[in-house]
Amino acid sequence: MSRMGNKPITAGSAVKLEVSGQTVKVTGPKGSLSYTMPAGITLEQDGNTIHVKRANDERQMKMYHGLVRSLVNSMVVGVTEGFKIEMELFGVGYRGQIAGQKLTLNLGYSNPVVYEIPEGIKCTMADQTHITLEGIDKQKVGQVAANIRKFRVPDAYHGKGVRFAGEQIVLKEGKKVGS
């Protein structure tokens, strides 16, 4: 069984934590995030250390304990450092461009795919085949990356599609010719 909920969260001096009832608001140099905790979970702050406490040892409370600790830790990391995901377009003729908050991708379809970048996510392209997503909300950055990847998942035979940077695709062998 995991004991992740018992692990303390270290917040820098620039991080400000506000707890009102079951709502937690974390503010830092990059912005602020808020989260509503489930009933029975509380936060205690000792200087720069945050401890997550649970009301009892029921199974559901133990699960919430670890979940809340992970979410609050991600909020602290997000408002201090932020999160970054790099992606690449792999395939002949696959490219993209950014115009304002719209990401236009040419992925081998008859029409280009236009994706509206949500509020709070910064999208940049170093060149036509590399996309960088940055933001303070870990879940939102990951979801945007998953949505972009879903437009053309790398296929198993050629490896063409939208990949995460550094992702290794194991290619299948094609049909055997003759016997």
CATH topology of domain 83-164: Outer Surface Protein A; domain 3 (3.90.930)
Q: What pLDDT is stored for residue 174 in this prediction?
A: 84
From first to last of its 179 residues, the chain has per-residue pLDDT tens of 468 889 999 998 899 999 999 999 999 999 999 999 999 999 999 888 999 999 999 999 999 999 999 999 999 999 999 999 999 999 999 999 999 999 999 999 999 999 999 999 999 999 999 999 999 999 999 999 999 999 999 999 999 999 999 999 999 988 877 65
Q: What pLDDT is stored for residue 103 in this prediction?
A: 96
Q: Taking a C-beta distance cutoff of 8 angstroms, is the pair 108, 94 a contact?
A: yes
Q: What pLDDT is stored for residue 179 in this prediction?
A: 59
Q: What pLDDT is stored for residue 153 in this prediction?
A: 96
Distances (CA, A) of 44 to 22, 90, 139: 12, 47, 24
Q: What pLDDT is stored for residue 3 in this prediction?
A: 85
Q: What pLDDT is stored for residue 2 in this prediction?
A: 62
Q: Looking at the domain that runs over 4-80, which CATH code has it been given?
A: 3.90.930.12
Q: Taking a C-beta distance cutoff of 8 angstroms, is the pair 12, 6 a contact?
A: no
The reply to whether domains 4-80 and 83-164 share a CATH topology is: yes
Element (H, E) at 148: helix 138-150
User: Domain extents for the chain?
Assistant: 4-80, 83-164
